[in-house]
Chains A and B, each alone.
Chain A
Amino acid sequence: MAQTQSGAEGMQSLPALLHRNTVQFGDAPAYREKEFGIWQCWTWTEAAAEVRSLALGFMEIGVEKGDHIAVIGRNRPAHYWSMVAAQMVGAIPVPLYQDAVAEEMAYVLDHCGAKYVVCGDQEQVDKVIEIQENLHQVKHILYTDKRGMRKYDHAQMNALDDIKAEGSAGHARFDAELDRRIAEITYDDTCVMLYTSGTTGKPKGVVLSNRNVIESAKNSAQFDHLTRNEDILSYLPMAWVGDFIFSIGQAYWCGFCVNCPESADTMMTDLREIGPTYFFAPPRVFETQLTNVMIRMEDAGKLKRRMFHHFMAHAKKVGGLLLDAKPVGFGDRLKYALGNLLVYGPLKDTLGYGRFRVGYTAGEAIGPEIFDFYRSLGINLKQLYGQTEATVFITVQPDGEVRADTVGVPAPDVELKIDDTGEIYYRSPGVFVEYYNNPDSTASTKDAEGWVATGDAGFIEESSGHLRIIDRAKDVGKMADGSMFAPKYVENKLKFYPDILEVVLFGNGKDRCVAFINIDLTAVANWAERNNVAYASYQELAGHPLVLETIRDHVEEVNKSVAADEMLSGCQVHRFVVLHKELDADDGEMTRTRKVRRGFVEDKFSDIIAALYDGSERVSTTTEVTYEDGRKGSISATLEIVDASVVPVAQHKVAAE
């Protein structure tokens, strides 16, 4: 590690770091990708050669300094290389969400003015061609996967492999110019541009400099003692800042290996094969895994099931304490070791967490039960709080101070302050340069002294110095009687039930709260199978009387626990509907990172909300849906509205502790 800590000054760009890695440990694995059933491997030396050929290829097709190169595709080494190659030639990489429909993509491509686009496959190429009809700026399309591309007009289009081959064949012509361009890169040049998904309004292009990325990578790597021996699995969207920092920033800074799964569907198998030592996932991944474990345990034999529950109960008692290096009795330690042999070890191995050293979850609150489940197994799962604008890191949980309800202490070099309204502000070397072509938004988010408004409301716990997030500042409101309305708090409590996937709570300015609920198809379908409940479609299952009854039980339980909180007892759910469709990013109801667009949902389903408040027993509605290929259709349904009993608010003083 000594070498990585001394280099910050000399290392002013990712190409420079790539060069350092080749010199210092050129034979170590840098990238792996599962292709044709086998893990293909590239060392740092090989990867550097690939990147350089690509950069030469880019020059061959005329990429100039300052051009934007959009990258649309799944996590593949070639796409990561394209981004670094773009930086080499002085261009700015702009990774985009590959599952975005054409019109969303059109906005971003138009906004950044990308002249070159690297597409993962035919599907992405088709979208770009469709966009190109109105937007005549794209000069050249490149693609990674050649399948189905033979018949396309190749005047303005090439396979990435072909320009790479051409680049390395004709290297003599551009070698000198490329070296000059690499040498010209400064610490404050743009490293990458990332579009924020935005729960409101259009996406904004966040400009991050080399300084932002490298300083953040350096600080966070030191914080968690990351070395070049880590293995990570890169499976999160490339357009998301987290993936850029983990799979490029930290990977180049520390020199660890980036593993790319075979396809999105094989991620769980690939996870198990790689056994990452450093892992990052949104809560949803951990929830899904836990749901699967529980479902499989239900199907397991009696002995296995009893053993599992017996040892999990023990792990719950001492596992977390052991992980935090707190004192635990000898007998308990012995029993935990036995449990590790019989249950925890094999389970971790099945999940792919056998080598897990440190990992983070972020993006949404994680259920305390889920969080504790993983920690009790001895998996060092922590939480962090971050934003694209901060180059991820705002607060992180140090080892030994991990709790489900806080997001940790300020990350190294990050300053934090909370203003009078409760909104969180931060200042750090990772603070973004600007929103591209949007000085108004930049000015309203970042002040002259470099403080950035997060848009989240929270407070710093005095006893521990940890930050606690209440909700999005703009979502926090008041009920008609003046009590506080913080939807996230109630929604999260509900979402912690495995059969509830998504919840949207309404009630700002009203006298009581109502909710939309999405069932989790995996969990509920399994339940239906075991209980002989027949259904033909998602819609039918979602409206099944037994399902509604179960959900009502959950809601009533949550109401009880919400009532116990003095501040938020007004947020109990009086009535709810189980929606006939899953909220989906393609329909604009969620962002690509799967956060609910509250305002949009409120408008789109205004008829259902009205019915929830006017006391009707059911509501008929027709909803527009967008299919994956962009076509639209509609589904109609009659939804039962369910009343849930609430704990009278007057009692909360008795219940509150």
Chain B
Amino acid sequence: MLDNSEEYVTEDGRKIGGVVMEMKNITLRFGGVVAIKDISFDIREGEIRAIIGPNGAGKSSMLNVISGFYVPQEGEVWFHGSKRPPMRPYDVARQGIARTFQNIALFEGMSVLDNVMTGRLNYMKTNILQQAIWRGKAEAEETKNREAVEKMIDFLEIQHIRKTPVSRLPYGLKKRVELARALAAEPKLLLLDEPMAGMNVEEKEDMSRFILDVNDEFGTTIALIEHDMGVVMDLSDRVVVMDYGKKIGDGTPHEVRNNQEVIDAYLGVSHD
């Protein structure tokens, strides 16, 4: 599985690029609890990479390691060919990694537009004084960023709620707004924490289409956690399966589906 060649051909014959991120022997502990045990895997450029596993398998912890929110006790994170030192989440954001959250973290009182604009924070260079005067530099900057934001609003078809406060939106739309905010940062790597949790079939279909379109249109590399197996198998190019903090499978959806250990984990064979 872990061949280091520059190109890799997926099940549906699509070519994806070389390795952009590599996790090497990651172990993460919270006190005495071992959340992640010696896990290694890679993410390749332009692919949709899923992390799946039963509840408590350590998926969200894994995502938090990738996003730099947790610093693992052991192991290394390699990003674009160099080892990543422990860093603050905003530094990670500057490196081109954006994410959405399992239980939506939007600014409830702000409009959709303002929320998505916050995704552009890394592209704003003017200082508070310039912004207070606004005319001139800050104005030009806002126009430029607004343009990028409007493209995302158009892409995710949320024009009709542009000016609506987020608190008034239904769940499915909030998820879409969160995705828009993450995309507004023009990330190279997009992390999605359960993008379809709590959605009905129609909303799931919409979200799947958006994820595929993002990947297709902007070439964004996507790593996602998802419970819905049907969705994962349809969307992703490669899948990592976790159970009790350990990696029990890694490969194409087809390989993973036929992996005995994975089947056991999902169908419930008694552990130890």
Taking Cβ atoms with an 8 Å cutoff, the residues of A that contact B are 35-38, 147-148, 150-151, 262-263, 265-266, 269, 627-629
Contact = CB atoms under 8 A, between A and B. Distances in A.
B213 A265 contact: no
Chain B: number of interface residues, binned into ranges: 10 to 19
B147 A36 contact: yes
Given A38-B150, A147-B213, A262-B159, 13 more contacts: A36-B147, A36-B150, A36-B153, A37-B153, A37-B159, A147-B155, A148-B216, A151-B14, A262-B160, A263-B160, A266-B159, A269-B160, A628-B202
B106 to A, nearest CB: 19
Given A36-B147, A37-B150, A148 B213 contact: yes
A536 to B, nearest CB: 13
Contacts of B213: 147-148
Contacts of A35: 154
Nearest to A37: B150
Interface of B: 14, 146-147, 150-151, 153-155, 157, 159-160, 162, 202, 205, 209, 212-213, 216-217
Instruction: Select the residue from A36, A150, A627 with max chain B CB neighbours within 10 A.
Output: A36
Nearest to B205: A629
Given A37-B153, A148-B217, A266 B160 contact: yes
Nearest to A267: B160
Given A35-B154, A37-B153, A148 B212 contact: yes
Nearest to A262: B159
Contacts of A151: 14, 216
Contacts of A37: 146, 150, 153, 159, 162
Nearest to B213: A148
Nearest to B163: A269
11 contacts: A36-B154, A37-B146, A38-B150, A147-B155, A147-B217, A148-B209, A148-B212, A148-B217, A150-B217, A151-B14, A628-B202
A342 B209 CA distance: 48
A75 to B, nearest CB: 15
Contacts of B155: 147
Instruction: Select the residue from B159, B209, B213, B216 with max chain A CB neighbours within 10 A.
Output: B159
A35 B213 CA distance: 19
A265 B217 contact: no
A497 to B, nearest CB: 28
A177 to B, nearest CB: 37
Main SS of the interface on chain B? helix
Contacts of B212: 148
B15 to A, nearest CB: 12
Nearest to A266: B160
Contacts, number: 37
A379 B209 CA distance: 43
A161 to B, nearest CB: 15
A263 B157 CA distance: 8
Closest 6 CB pairs of A and B: A265-B160, A36-B150, A37-B150, A266-B160, A262-B159, A148-B213
A627 B201 CA distance: 12
Contacts of A628: 202
A150 B215 CA distance: 11
A36 B151 contact: yes
A148 B212 CA distance: 8
A354 B153 CA distance: 29
Contacts of A148: 209, 212-213, 216-217
Nearest to A629: B205
Nearest to B162: A37
Nearest to A151: B216
Nearest to A34: B159
A269 B160 CA distance: 8
Nearest to B12: A151
Contacts of B216: 148, 150-151
Contacts of A263: 157, 159-160
A235 B159 CA distance: 16
Nearest to A269: B160
A147 B216 CA distance: 9
Contacts of B160: 262-263, 265-266, 269
B202 to A, nearest CB: 8
Contacts of A262: 159-160
A375 to B, nearest CB: 29
Nearest to B14: A151
Nearest to A265: B160
A148 B202 CA distance: 18
B203 to A, nearest CB: 13
A304 to B, nearest CB: 21
B120 to A, nearest CB: 14
A432 B158 CA distance: 41
Contacts of B209: 148
Contacts of A38: 150
Contacts of A265: 159-160
Contacts of A629: 205
A266 B162 CA distance: 10
Contacts of B151: 36
A368 to B, nearest CB: 32
Nearest to B148: A36
Nearest to A268: B160
A150 B155 CA distance: 15
A38 B159 CA distance: 11
A67 to B, nearest CB: 32
Nearest to A145: B154
Nearest to B209: A148
Instruction: Select the residue from B146, B154, B202 with max chain A CB neighbours within 10 A.
Output: B154
Contacts of B146: 37
Contacts of B159: 37, 262-263, 265-266
A653 to B, nearest CB: 54
A76 to B, nearest CB: 13
Contacts of A150: 216-217
A390 to B, nearest CB: 35
A263 B150 CA distance: 14
Contacts of B157: 263
Nearest to B201: A627
Nearest to A123: B209
B131 to A, nearest CB: 21
B144 to A, nearest CB: 12
A269 B155 CA distance: 19
B189 to A, nearest CB: 20
Contacts of B162: 37
A630 B150 CA distance: 31
B116 to A, nearest CB: 11
A596 to B, nearest CB: 26
A38 B150 CA distance: 9
